[in-house]
């Protein structure tokens, strides 16, 4: 795992090496084992910071060229089928100077062109510069993996220059990249708690979407989608046959993900997904698996007892850490790693367990992705409670009706029995799709309460609701219920879950590999009938059946918690005071009076606004940090 960056311009760049060096410096935490900057041709610059995982020698140094220096790559990730691809390329006459997967990318591009990315099995983000052996102005190829495990940001400037990097703040180090805030991205943040691709908080910078590659030539860019998850082709074998196949596929991908020249372990939350990964790791490993777990000082959110069950069953070398409320000193630093507002509160325990693990290993396997591919989320199950006897609902978003926003806030967040009853009745009348949307994003009327008059004017009727609405409507499914899974896989998974894990683990130079997001396994899961994922009240039905002999019954039956964090409790205390103090400085995007009213409701118990106030807190800290940096 590494950090990558670079830029290409049509015109000479004054101080290009200095600009690139500043970009690389912002990524040093991602690659402490070395850094390098290269002017690979005229106005083309590539940078890299290295976290050495495979072939620790200098032969693995990046950016890496081909034999004649006409093709260069800067790469972040792991290619799990690189040995297979290397063998094919050697048969075709390509010669290798290292044992790295990086060098495979260079020769695969030479052999198969842009479409070679379809042959890759892994998690990756990379840039390939093709100088055309001096015959033209060259071409830049930017690629991101199918599920969005690895990040890639870019800015295409008015003069044709393209700037790219693993993290947002590195792109901003280029002096021509504007830091003007995008109002639609602000709305997206308060809608979802994160900013979905291709948006970033800045108008001039974009995220390369998962399963896409970008080609830059002569100052112009073209985006291409190279993979599409399809739920329409279903398997018809028996339940037992599919469960057996699933277990074999899981075992195969876990074994592939364990290839490493450095110490390796696993995150163990005690839930179904991470427990399955650890169980299979223990069965294919010749030594005890190192496992890492985190708990909370609030028993309602603590899964450590379940993690210990798995650790004891498989004799792992187990490590634990218990977390209290976050401190004001820690949170601004963590928020800074994202480069933009990001309100998933489980980033805090993810950072802490990553830091703990990094003291023992360089690579960990995780259970990320299981909820998306096997229908594990509670909001999916609850939304489908309102399925109206199986009738197929429309996936087209209903037109919003004028409502009283404060009444909406009470119906959604009120703690008294009356408002809870009204909420349940409205969900029943609205049906599963509208219920899913209400549970996965903050409704527009409530968001608009938060906004200043200037922000509402700047939005001019635009809304970030369309990101989710469009995904649900265009979902390639034969069973409408799987549109919910498709929406989560293309929105929540890459832009929240995987973003959180990448930034918090790479903050301490820890590589996290998610075997459940091997695209071949994901395609298999998509081919399963929906009842094999969610049957009645049982989530992850086939996964539980496949792992019955490997996991204790307590793991199968426990209620899902994940890295749940008690933000409601936190936002009743000191963090609420910090929020009010930060917003007293007249934030140009947020209505301070609304925030004060919401804090009062939350503290009095009239409404549980913990998650919404947490988003406001993160926004306020991010804004304060941004202004402090800007003022020097």
SS (H, E, C) 321-380: EEECCCCCCCHHHHHHHHCCCCCCCCHHHHHHHHHHHHCCCCEEECCCCHHHHCCCCHHH
Predicted confidence at residue 536, as pLDDT, reads 86
Predicted confidence at residue 124, as pLDDT, reads 97
Segment 146-170 shows an average pLDDT of 97
Phi-psi region of 328 (alpha: psi -120 to 50; beta: other; left: phi over 0): alpha
Predicted confidence at residue 531, as pLDDT, reads 94
Predicted confidence at residue 349, as pLDDT, reads 85
Element (H, E) at 87: helix 82-91
Mean pLDDT estimate for the chain: 90
Bigger pLDDT: 562 vs 442: 442
| CA–CA gap between residue 127 and residue 165 (Å, rounded) | 9
Q: What is the 3-state secondary structure (H, E, C) of 417-462?
A: HHHHHHHHHHHHHHCHHHHHHHHHCCCHHHHHHHECHHHHHHHCCC
Predicted confidence at residue 62, as pLDDT, reads 86
Alpha helices in 442-552 (DSSP H): 444-450, 453-459, 465-474, 482-487, 498-506, 519-526, 541-546
Q: Catalytic: 2?
A: yes
Of 206-220, 357-371, 424-438, the range with the lowest mean pLDDT is: 424-438
Whether 328 shows a pLDDT value over 70: the answer reads no
Predicted confidence at residue 78, as pLDDT, reads 94
Domain ranges within the chain, ordered by starting residue: 2-183+193-225, 229-565, 566-632
Binding residues: 101, 294, 366-367
- Positive or negative CA dihedral for 252, 256, 262, 267? negative
Segment 109-118 shows an average pLDDT of 95
Confidence of residue 288 (pLDDT cuts 50, 70, 90): very high
Confidence of residue 136 (pLDDT cuts 50, 70, 90): low
Of 9-18, 380-389, 505-514, the range with the lowest mean pLDDT is: 380-389
Predicted confidence at residue 560, as pLDDT, reads 65
Whether 360 shows a pLDDT value over 90: the answer reads yes
Strands 206-207, 71-79: pairing is unpaired
Of 45-54, 377-386, 520-529, the range with the lowest mean pLDDT is: 377-386
Q: Measuring CA to CA, how many Å separate 206 from each of 106, 148, 153, 173, 510?
A: 25, 14, 6, 15, 25
Question: Cα angle vertex 532, ends 528, 537, to 5°?
Answer: 145
Of 223-227, 261-265, 458-462, the range with the lowest mean pLDDT is: 261-265
Predicted confidence at residue 61, as pLDDT, reads 81
* Residues paired with 423 in a beta bridge: none
Strands 44-50, 64-65: pairing is unpaired
- Please confirm whether the linkage preceding 198 is cis (ω < 30° from 0): yes
CATH superfamily of 2-183+193-225: Aminohydrolase, N-terminal nucleophile (Ntn) domain (3.60.20.10)
| CA–CA gap between residue 610 and residue 24 (Å, rounded) | 37
Confidence of residue 391 (pLDDT cuts 50, 70, 90): low
Bigger pLDDT: 42 vs 258: 258
Whether 400 shows a pLDDT value over 80: the answer reads no
Highest mean pLDDT: which of 287-301, 326-340, 446-460? 446-460
**% the chain with pLDDT above 90:** 68
Count the Cβ atoms, other than its own, within 10 Å of residue 615.
26
| CA–CA gap between residue 619 and residue 45 (Å, rounded) | 34
Confidence of residue 613 (pLDDT cuts 50, 70, 90): very high
* 2-183+193-225 and 229-565, same CATH topology: no
Question: 155 and 162 in contact (C-beta within 8 Å)?
Answer: yes
Question: 85 and 108 in contact (C-beta within 8 Å)?
Answer: yes
Q: pTM of the full predicted structure?
A: 0.94
Of 108-112, 115-119, 582-586, the range with the lowest mean pLDDT is: 582-586
pLDDT tens string 452-495 = 999 999 999 999 999 999 999 999 998 999 999 999 999 999 99
Whether 326 shows a pLDDT value over 70: the answer reads no
Bigger pLDDT: 51 vs 451: 451
> Which CATH number applies to 229-565?
3.40.50.620
Bigger pLDDT: 46 vs 581: 46
Predicted confidence at residue 415, as pLDDT, reads 87
Predicted confidence at residue 389, as pLDDT, reads 47
The angle that helices 432-440 and 417-430 make with each other, rounded to 10 degrees, is 130
Non-local CB neighbours of 6 within 8 Å, separated by 6+ positions: 20, 23, 44, 45, 46, 47, 74, 127, 129, 140, 163, 164, 165
Question: 253 and 515 in contact (C-beta within 8 Å)?
Answer: yes
Segment 40-67 shows an average pLDDT of 83
Largest CA distance in the chain: 74
Segment 292-305 shows an average pLDDT of 76
Segment 269-289 shows an average pLDDT of 94
Question: 502 and 151 in contact (C-beta within 8 Å)?
Answer: yes
Q: Is 530 helix (H, G, I), strand (E, B) or coil?
A: helix
Segment 327-354 shows an average pLDDT of 86
Q: How far is Cα of residue 306 from the mean position of the Cα atoms in its chain? A: 25
Segment 204-230 shows an average pLDDT of 97
Alpha helices in 488-609 (DSSP H): 498-506, 519-526, 541-546, 553-557, 567-570, 574-583, 592-604
Predicted confidence at residue 561, as pLDDT, reads 62
Question: 77 and 126 in contact (C-beta within 8 Å)?
Answer: yes
Count the Cβ atoms, other than its own, within 10 Å of residue 254.
26
Segment 438-462 shows an average pLDDT of 93
Binding residues for L-glutamine: 101
Q: Which of 2, 5, 35, 497 is catalytic?
A: 2
Question: 406 and 446 in contact (C-beta within 8 Å)?
Answer: no
Non-local CB neighbours of 212 within 8 Å, separated by 6+ positions: 143, 144, 223, 224, 225, 226
* Residues paired with 6 in a beta bridge: 46, 164
What are the φ/ψ torsions at residue 620 (nearest 5 degrees)? -65, -40
Question: 7 and 18 in contact (C-beta within 8 Å)?
Answer: no
Whether 388 shows a pLDDT value over 60: the answer reads no
Predicted confidence at residue 467, as pLDDT, reads 93
| CA–CA gap between residue 246 and residue 264 (Å, rounded) | 24
Predicted confidence at residue 425, as pLDDT, reads 84
| CA–CA gap between residue 625 and residue 319 (Å, rounded) | 33
Segment 350-356 shows an average pLDDT of 92
Question: 400 and 360 in contact (C-beta within 8 Å)?
Answer: no
Question: 269 and 318 in contact (C-beta within 8 Å)?
Answer: no
Q: Measuring CA to CA, how many Å separate 141 from each of 152, 203, 233?
A: 12, 22, 32
* Residues paired with 225 in a beta bridge: 212
Place of tokens 């204790």: 552
């Amino acid at each position: 795992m590494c950090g990558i960056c670079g830029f290409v311009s049509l015109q000479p760049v004054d101080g290009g090496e200095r600009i690139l060096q500043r970009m690389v410096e912002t990524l040093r935490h991602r690659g402490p084992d070395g850094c390098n900057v290269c002017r690979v041709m005229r106005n083309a610059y590539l940078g890299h910071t290295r976290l050495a995982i495979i072939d620790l020698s200098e032969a693995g140094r990046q950016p890496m060229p081909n034999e004649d220096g006409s093709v260069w790559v800067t790469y972040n990730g792991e290619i799990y089928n690189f040995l297979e691809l290397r063998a094919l390329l050697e048969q075709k006459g390509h010669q290798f100077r290292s044992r790295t997967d990086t060098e495979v990318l260079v020769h695969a591009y030479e052999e198969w062109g842009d479409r070679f990315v379809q042959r890759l099995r892994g998690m990756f983000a990379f840039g390939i510069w093709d100088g055309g052996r001096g015959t033209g102005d060259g071409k830049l190829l930017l690629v991101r993996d199918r599920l969005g495990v690895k990040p890639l940001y870019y800015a295409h400037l008015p003069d044709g220059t393209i700037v790219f990097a693993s993290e947002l703040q590195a792109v901003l180090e280029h002096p021509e990249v504007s830091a003007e805030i995008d109002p639609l991205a602000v709305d997206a943040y308060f809608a979802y708690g994160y900013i979905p691709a291709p948006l970033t908080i800045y108008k001039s910078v974009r995220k390369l979407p998962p399963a896409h590659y970008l080609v830059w030539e002569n100052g112009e860019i073209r985006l291409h989608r190279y993979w599409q998850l399809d739920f329409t082709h279903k398997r018809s074998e028996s339940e037992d046959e599919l469960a057996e196949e699933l277990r074999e596929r899981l075992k195969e991908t876990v074994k592939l993900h364990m290839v490493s020249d450095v110490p390796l372990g696993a995150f163990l939350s005690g839930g179904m997904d991470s427990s399955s990964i650890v169980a299979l790791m223990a069965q294919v490993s010749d030594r005890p698996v190192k496992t890492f777990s985190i708990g909370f000082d609030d028993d309602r959110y603590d899964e450590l007892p379940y993690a210990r069950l798995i650790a004891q069953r498989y004799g792992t070398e187990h490590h634990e850490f218990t977390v209290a409320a976050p401190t004001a000193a820690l949170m601004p630093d963590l928020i800074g790693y994202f480069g933009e507002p990001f309100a998933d509160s489980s980033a805090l325990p993810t950072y802490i367990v990553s830091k703990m693990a990094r003291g023992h290993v360089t690579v960990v396997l995780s259970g990320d992705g299981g909820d998306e591919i096997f229908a594990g989320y509670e909001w999916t199950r609850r939304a489908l409670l309102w399925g109206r006897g199986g009738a197929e609902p429309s996936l087209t978003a209903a037109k919003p009706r004028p409502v009283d926003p404060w009444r909406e806030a009470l119906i959604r967040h009120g703690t008294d029995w009356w408002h809870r009853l009204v909420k349940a009745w409205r969900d029943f009348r609205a049906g599963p799709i509208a219920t899913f949307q209400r549970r996965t994003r903050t409704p527009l009327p409530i968001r608009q309460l938060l906004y200043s008059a200037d922000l509402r004017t700047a939005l001019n009727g635009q809304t970030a609701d369309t990101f989710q609405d469009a995904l649900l409507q265009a979902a390639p499914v034969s069973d409408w219920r799987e549109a919910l899974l498709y929406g989560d896989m293309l929105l929540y998974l890459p832009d929240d879950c995987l973003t959180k894990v990448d930034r918090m683990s790479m903050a301490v130079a820890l590589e996290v590999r998610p075997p459940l997001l091997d695209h071949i396994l994901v395609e298999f899961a998509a081919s399963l009938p929906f009842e094999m994922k969610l049957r009645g009240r049982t989530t992850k039905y086939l996964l539980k059946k496949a792992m019955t002999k490997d996991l204790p019954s307590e793991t199968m039956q426990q209620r899902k918690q994940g890295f749940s964090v008690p933000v409601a409790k936190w936002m009743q205390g000191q963090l609420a005071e910090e929020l009010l103090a930060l917003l007293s400085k007249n934030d140009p995007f947020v209505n301070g009076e609304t925030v004060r009213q919401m804090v009062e409701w939350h503290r009095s118990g009239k409404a549980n606004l913990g998650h919404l106030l947490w988003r406001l807190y993160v926004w306020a800290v991010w804004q304060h940090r941004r202004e402090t940096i800007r003022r020097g």
